[in-house]
Amino acid sequence: MAEEAENIKTEQAEEKELKKLVQFLSFTLGDEEYGVDILRVQEIRSWEPVSRIPNVPNYEKGVVNLRGAIVPIIDLRERFGLGHLAYSPLTVVVVLQMQTEEGAVRTMGVVVDSVSDVINVDKKTIQDAPNFGTKVSTEFINGLASVEERMVMLLDVEKLLQLDALDDDNEK
Amino acid sequence: MATILAVDDSASMRQMVSFTLKGAGYTVVEAVDGVDALNKAKLQKFDCVVTDVNMPNKDGITLIRDLRALPNYKFIPMLMLTTESGMDKKQAGKAAGATGWIVKPFNPDQLLKTIKKVLG
Amino acid sequence: MSIDMAQFHQVFFEESFEGLDIMETGLLNLDMGDVDDEDINTIFRAAHSIKGGSGTFGFTAVSDFTHVMETLLDEMRDGRRQVTQVAVDVLLGSVDCLKEMLTAIQDEQEIDVESVNKYQQALEVELNGTDASSTENTVEPSDEQTSQQVNAKGWMVAFSPHADMLKTGNDPVRMLRELSSLGELTTTVDFQGVPDFYELDPEECHLSWSLELVGDIVISDVNEIFDWVEDECDLAIQPLGSPTEEQAPPSSPVAEATIEKAAEVANPSVENKKTTKVKAETSKKPAAKGSSSIRVDTSKIDTLINMVGELVITQSMLSLVGEHFEMNKLDQLKSGLSQLERHTRELQESVMNIRMLPISFVFSRFPRLVHDLSSKLDKKIELVLVGEHTEVDKTVVELLSDPLVHLVRNSLDHGVEMPADRVAAGKPETGTITLEAYHRGGNIVIEVKDDGKGLNKEMLRAKAIEKGLIGEETILTDKQTYELIFMAGFSTAAELSDISGRGVGMDVVRRNIQSLGGNIEIISELGVGTTIAIHLPLTLAIMDGQSIAVGDERFIVPLGAIIESINIKESMVNRVAGRGETFRLRDEYLPIIRMHEIFGVKTVQATKLTEGLVVVVDGQGMRCGLFVDDLLGQQQVVIKSLEANYRKVEGVSGATILGDGSVALILDIPGLVRLSNQ
């Protein structure tokens, strides 16, 4: 009986702690670890063949049919110049959502090496992004989080999903 | 509870009347004009009729006159909803057999009060 | 009980805007020489409804304004006032004012009081012939309060219903009940008037009452109870304790003061009393702006329901066959599948049909537009509408409106000549602008025709050269000359008159039409007139497509764009250094677009022109041949947007999902041509 009461107490304490926490999905790219706001993650899928889109940057691999919607797949490794890794059934695609200025929802998939887990980060402990030393350009990084012994770079999803203008003047 | 036929060509008025009366526990059937109302009245006996006056196809006063000619509706209370504050429309209505009138604009409470008065 | 009236506001706004449209159309169609009573009545009823509703829902400013309109219209329908063009114009202006007021309220904005006052004054001038500034409702003069004081003791009521009172549904018991709720009631009934049993008509009332009502009661409350039956009974009310207390019911009709409660009952403004300064009246909920809803005929819904029913039957039949499948059931399976295909297709057609609206929705604004603009320009112009029932997809309706307005304004402004010029040219004084819509093939065609002065090829050419849009030696066909007006920068500020609009050029119009997958063409004859035809796909979401193979990639070519497909022989090909390849088709040389080069397809099979196929296509007048590996099947494809989640890709108009779940890009021919020119 007393033990149960103790358990409940710790649970409640944990809950209280949890309230200050923000959740991220962490994944690896090369030898570094990144995280995205869990609320932006729609789903996680394994790699499937894409339909190629002509005349777009290399790292925009193509589009897939996601339950009737046409969703582009971006290779993050290639995006950040980490070199292409051959795709296998173990390759993971994280499907992210963001809100556009017009209020619509945009869905895009990003190819990552592997997905780690969901991490809870106390908002207060998030550090500013370093000015140098990261493979990924700091414009995409919102902050750094320390989880257990690892350092996780928290990515800005909106900026991540921003597509570059095409070289040949296709976009007005 | 009593069944009321609410007749008005304006959807918002119909909805308001319907909602108000249903809220008080009455059963309400809506009609969009005099023709629609007369057809419905022939299929089902209503305990009370509330009708707008100015409507296309058959106006409220003609509707009341036609209803009074039906054996089932000789003594049923029939109320006109009218914005005319002038006596002429009211006279015409009474001559056609209307029980009384409710002057527009009215608020839901006034409507309920009058219906309760008439249906007991 | 308190009811939130705001829930009815949206419906009220919708029906009021409809009512205003009815008024506008009705007013525009009034023939001064021969006014149809029923037409005036319809306009009156619309105004009357708006007045009633706005009063009920507390929009007092609207109610007051509409009241003046209604009074004017009432006099017209009674024949007490002549219907004049001036009055009609004033009323048309008032309709505009009401639209503004209702829009402001719906959007929770302030009403432009100054504007309203201006319109209201115009109405009053018309109504009274003078500048009356008051807008009193015709409130009944409240009758003199009875000189009889409120008697602390109560009232003695002698009540004698006439024989017919029951036949108006008025039950004496009701009145007795109401009286008893006011105070302590003692009733004495008088049977004297009741005839012999055999002469008794149960439908008549022969009873009368003496009623003693004790309590601190105002006489007006007592009178109110008998309000409705004033003319159907004899009523006498005396204060209790007054010297003359009559016991017998009087035989004379209504005695005593019947206080006119009209003043009180007639104006129970739910909230605001009328103030001199009209404050913004807002609805509680922000109403949905720009309706993303659609009105659908219930018959369309019923059809849909039936089809879904059939689909369910087919599906259960198929799952039965599939349950313990054996090869001898193959035929059943096949027939089930073909049924499924049929039902799916029918369902699809029905659903698309739901989004279809008659084009009258677009055309409806033009009578007013033409009426106003032609009088502004001092031109006589008649508008003819043909094919208003032609149905188009809802999106088309929404996107077509602005381009059409621009085109009609152009015709009004630059096309149709002044009456004097027309007569001099041997034309009737009144010019005609025709808006016509019809289906042709899988497209809807909308034409704006005028019998004005037509386009002058020389002038157009000269202007284009002057503006540096074409070179002096450029040779153009007639059609291409007319299409110069679509070039950006063609019209100068000097010509963009107030009428045709600033900043909206023909180039924007064409671009808008093209973005819908359509195209626009011009036919004209100098001195005779101009016709501008807009072609749009009937539905924007589904298209007939030809699947092509380029390497191991699949693309869809819009079937409507395909002219033919041919095997190229070397002798047909013409190569010009720096200008790419062209091939001869009958009497023209068309450019060849190598799909694998343009789209960077590495897995291409045919690199020599003779090894593959050339599909001759036409995109908005631009013709070319697409060099591909193979032609695959034809199918209906559902057009999915690439831009929703991704980006606009040149040469691609959209994407579709094939039967195997993969994504195929739908080609945009003009875009491909542009790509190949780079």
> Shortest CB distance from C662 goes to which of A65, A166, A168?
A65
C265 interface with B at CB cutoff 8 Å: yes
Q: Find the closest chain A residue to C554 by CA distance.
A: A51
Q: Which residues are bridge partners to A37 per DSSP?
A: A24
Q: Of C9, C24, C48, C406, which one is the catalytic site residue?
A: C48
* B89 to chain C, closest Cα gap in Å: 13
- A7-11, C179-183, C347-351, C417-421: least confidently modelled range: A7-11
Q: How confident is the model at residue A169 (pLDDT cuts 50, 70, 90)?
A: very low
Among this protein's residues, is C48 annotated catalytic? yes
Give pLDDT, residue C441: 67
CB contact under 8 A, C657 and A65: yes
For residue C325 the two structure tokens come to 């499948």
Give pLDDT, residue C132: 46
CA distance linking residue C586 with residue C390, whole number of Å: 37
pLDDT tops 50 at residue C471: yes
Residues of C in Cβ contact (< 8 Å) with A64: 663
Q: From the CB of residue A106, how many other CB atoms can be counted at a distance below 10 Å?
A: 18
Q: How confident is the model at residue C620 (pLDDT cuts 50, 70, 90)?
A: low
Establish if A16 belongs to a structural domain.
no
Task: Check contact C-B (3+ Cβ pairs < 8 Å).
Answer: yes
C249-254: long-range pairs with CB below 8 Å, 24+: C249/C158, C249/C159, C249/C160, C249/C190, C249/C208, C249/C209, C249/C210, C250/C158, C250/C160, C251/C160, C254/C230
Q: Find the closest chain C residue to A58 by CA distance.
A: C600
CB contact under 8 A, B106 and C174: no
Phi and psi, residue B44, nearest 5°: -150, 140
Give pLDDT, residue C495: 53
Percent of chain C with pLDDT over 70: 85
Give pLDDT, residue B38: 94
CB contact under 8 A, C262 and B103: yes
Among this protein's residues, is C410 annotated catalytic? yes
Query: Shortest CA distance to C47 belongs to which of C114, C100, C92?
Result: C92
Please state the rounded mean pLDDT for residues C38-43.
89
For residue A84 the two structure tokens come to 């292409």
Give pLDDT, residue C43: 93
Q: How confident is the model at residue C529 (pLDDT cuts 50, 70, 90)?
A: very high
Residue A166 sits in a domain whose CATH number is 2.40.50.180
B27 interface with C at CB cutoff 8 Å: no
More confident residue, B80 or C491: B80
Give pLDDT, residue C244: 47
- Determine the residue among B12, B59, B67, B110 to mutate to test chain C binding: the one whose Cβ has the most chain C Cβ atoms within 10 Å: B12
pLDDT tops 80 at residue C152: no
For residue C24 the two structure tokens come to 């506008």
B33 interface with C at CB cutoff 8 Å: no
Please state the rounded mean pLDDT for residues A1-15.
67
Q: Are A132 and A71 in contact (CB under 8 A)?
A: no
Q: pLDDT per residue over C272-313, tens digit each?
A: 333 333 333 333 333 333 446 777 888 889 889 988 998 998
Cis peptide bond upstream of B105, omega within 30? yes
- Determine the residue among C1, C2, C3 to mutate to test chain B binding: the one whose Cβ has the most chain B Cβ atoms within 10 Å: C3
Name the neighbours of B, counting chains with at least 3 Cβ pairs within 8 A: C
Q: How confident is the model at residue C427 (pLDDT cuts 50, 70, 90)?
A: very high
Phi and psi, residue C479, nearest 5°: -60, -45
C573 interface with B at CB cutoff 8 Å: no
Residue with tokens 């339909």: A51
Q: How confident is the model at residue C81 (pLDDT cuts 50, 70, 90)?
A: confident
- Mean confidence (pLDDT) of chain A: 83
Give pLDDT, residue C16: 94
For residue C498 the two structure tokens come to 């107030």
Give pLDDT, residue C535: 86
All structural domains of chain B: 3-119 (3.40.50.2300)
* B56 to chain C, closest Cα gap in Å: 8
Q: Are C547 and C635 in contact (CB under 8 A)?
A: yes
DSSP secondary-structure letter at B59? -
Establish if A140 belongs to a structural domain.
yes
Q: Are B41 and B14 in contact (CB under 8 A)?
A: no
CA distance linking residue C189 with residue C160, whole number of Å: 10
Q: pLDDT per residue over B63-115, tens digit each?
A: 999 999 999 999 999 999 987 665 677 888 899 999 999 988 888 888 999 99
Q: pLDDT per residue over C223-249, tens digit each?
A: 888 988 988 899 998 888 755 444 444
Q: pLDDT per residue over C555-595, tens digit each?
A: 999 888 888 999 988 888 888 777 788 888 888 888 899 99
| Number of independent structural domains in chain A | 1
Query: Shortest CA distance to C11 belongs to which of A124, B15, B66?
Result: B15
pLDDT tops 70 at residue A144: yes
- Mean confidence (pLDDT) of chain C: 81
State yes or no: ipTM above 0.95: no
Residues of C in Cβ contact (< 8 Å) with A51: 553, 655, 662-665
Q: Of C70, C447, C483, C581, which one is the catalytic site residue?
A: C70
- Determine the residue among A70, A96, A164 to mutate to test chain C binding: the one whose Cβ has the most chain C Cβ atoms within 10 Å: A70
Name the neighbours of C, counting chains with at least 3 Cβ pairs within 8 A: A, B
Please state the rounded mean pLDDT for residues C105-121.
88
For residue C340 the two structure tokens come to 């499924």
pLDDT tops 70 at residue C373: yes
C148 class by beta-carbon count within 10 Å (0-12 exposed, 13-18 middle, 19+ buried): middle
Q: Which residues are bridge partners to C550 per DSSP?
A: C553
Q: Which residues of C touch A (CB under 8 A)?
A: 553, 598-601, 640-642, 644-652, 655, 657, 661-665, 675, 678
pLDDT tops 80 at residue C623: yes
Phi and psi, residue C519, nearest 5°: -150, 170
Query: Shortest CA distance to C17 belongs to which of C287, C363, C371?
Result: C287
Distances (CA, A) of A170 to A34, A56, C114, C414, C435: 32, 10, 49, 36, 36
Give pLDDT, residue C266: 35
Establish if A136 belongs to a structural domain.
yes
Domain that holds residue A130: 22-171
A65 interface with C at CB cutoff 8 Å: yes
Q: From the CB of residue B60, how many other CB atoms can be counted at a distance below 10 Å?
A: 31
Residues of C in Cβ contact (< 8 Å) with B12: 8-9, 11-12, 15, 53, 57
| Amino acid at site C173 | V
Q: How confident is the model at residue B17 (pLDDT cuts 50, 70, 90)?
A: very high
CA distance linking residue C94 with residue C17, whole number of Å: 13
Residues of C in Cβ contact (< 8 Å) with B86: 138, 140
Q: From the CB of residue A62, how many other CB atoms can be counted at a distance below 10 Å?
A: 18
Q: pLDDT per residue over C160-184, tens digit each?
A: 999 889 999 999 999 999 999 888 9
Establish if A8 belongs to a structural domain.
no
Q: pLDDT per residue over B27-49, tens digit each?
A: 999 999 999 999 999 999 999 99
Consecutive H or E run containing B50: strand B48-52
